[in-house]
Amino acid sequence: MAAPREAPTAVAGSRISRQGSRGFVYFVSAVAATSGLLFGFDIAVINGAIVFLEKEWQLSELQTEMAASALLVGCIFGAAFGGWLSDLWGRRKALLLSAFLFATSAIGASLPHSLGEFAVARLLGGLAIGVASVLAPLYIAEISPARIRGRLVALNQMAIVSGILLSYLANWGLSFLGAGSWRYMFAVAAIPSLVFFVALFFVPESPRWLMERGREAEALHVLERAAGTAEAVTAIDSLKETIQAESGSFGELFAPGVRRALGIAIVLAIMQQWAGVNTVLFYGSKILSSQVGATSALGANVLIGLINFVCTIVALGLIDRLGRKALLIFSSGAMAISHVILALCFQRNNPPEALIVGAMLLCVAAFAVGLGPGVWVVLAEIFPTRIRGRAMSVATVALWVACTVLTMTFLTLSRVLGRNGAFLIYGGMCAFTALFVLFAVPETRGKTLEEIEKLWVAPSRQNR
């Protein structure tokens, strides 16, 4: 495996002027985004496997929620330490650790004979996802030219939904092997985990992290390969100014201006999860199996995964054209409508199957166009360079705590309030998210990371 060849260089005076290589940028971004594919596969594979786990181990409602949530508990801790590891070791080495944990979890989750053993294996996978969810968008944002940064960071979300689709296809295809098929569903993830581990040896360290360590020549070399000499020199100068002006301490997260950015990031991270899409992604087969049967439910999941995949491609084309705010607002509004439809469906004794599936498809499509990629892009953009790792870690921990709460309460909430009551609550969360984005989130489209940082220093300059 080798990185794409760079564009030819041209001599400008006594200095060699290098032309940036878009192929190099896409290659590096694709390698980092492979963690997103594993993220998506590991987080969604439980959707199909849970049906077989429940039967084999006779799981109660609480145990089912525990089986679905074990991975997410690991995500919290992985995200908590991911930023610290990235600041200490660098982005690439921390991603190598996540690749190793992905492979270990895939093999471990296929072998257990008790819920406890299964939970430990899934916890390791969660650690890998937590680290990768902090670092992959961060790394891509730090190496990408500003003009295509949104598209490339959204590539990580594209990889996530690709992983989700692959897990649904694997679940459906392997389900025909019988009661023990869930073991194979988890084991197959070991293959892309090993590919990811090897590929990371062919990508460079983040130029911004290199600058923070005083390795300017290496940082300039990476930026030249990515964007060309002229843009690289400008970026290096901006980074010098930024790093000199920042202390980089944990306390800086709560400094005026930065505190506002952190608040926005935490709210967006929480609301991305409480918008309720994971009720479909994690429990879709369980919701549908009571309506159409287990095998048909797994087949319907493939359709949901396909819609998720296609709509994320649409988001890649729109996020740098329409901006982050427009997509986030549209996404939240459409998801609110889908939840209301689901609530009305489940209020009936015999809800129409086609309408339930249609509302689920609308929910996933709306999320994929906006809240899915958009939140990750904003989180990767809005923090100052020196504390970006720590700040991303805090925001991502909030995201995974919210995801865990949602996953561990959906079945209980559905029993207490009915599925109609649960989906009405999620619809209200979506409506709140749309209003929050409209009034509190600045537009970051087309701005360099250094220009975005100045939004918090001079809030009056915000261009909403």
Residue 402 · residue 67 · CB < 8 Å:
no
The CATH number given to 21-203+246-461 is 1.20.1250.20
Of the chain, the percentage scoring pLDDT greater than 90 comes to 37
User: What is residue 245's predicted lDDT score, i.e. its pLDDT?
Assistant: 59
Amino acid residing at 274: W
As a whole number of angstroms, the distance between CA 133 and CA 31 comes to 14
Residue 457 · residue 245 · CB < 8 Å:
no
Give yes or no for residue 54 having a pLDDT over 50.
yes
Specify the 3-state DSSP secondary structure of 11. Answer: strand
402-412 pLDDT, tens digit per residue, is: 999 998 899 89
Give yes or no for residue 247 having a pLDDT over 60.
no
User: Could you tell me the two tokens for 151?
Assistant: 């598209």
User: What is residue 455's predicted lDDT score, i.e. its pLDDT?
Assistant: 73
More confident position, 16 or 352: 352
Section 274-292 average pLDDT: 79
Q: Residue 256: phi, psi to the nearest 5?
A: -55, 145
More confident position, 217 or 392: 217
User: What is residue 237's predicted lDDT score, i.e. its pLDDT?
Assistant: 80
pLDDT interval class at 461 (50, 70, 90): very low
120, with CB counted inside 10 A (0-12, 13-18, 19+), is: middle
Give yes or no for residue 29 having a pLDDT over 70.
yes
Section 188-209 average pLDDT: 93
149-193 pLDDT, tens digit per residue, is: 777 877 887 888 889 889 989 988 888 888 888 999 999 999 999
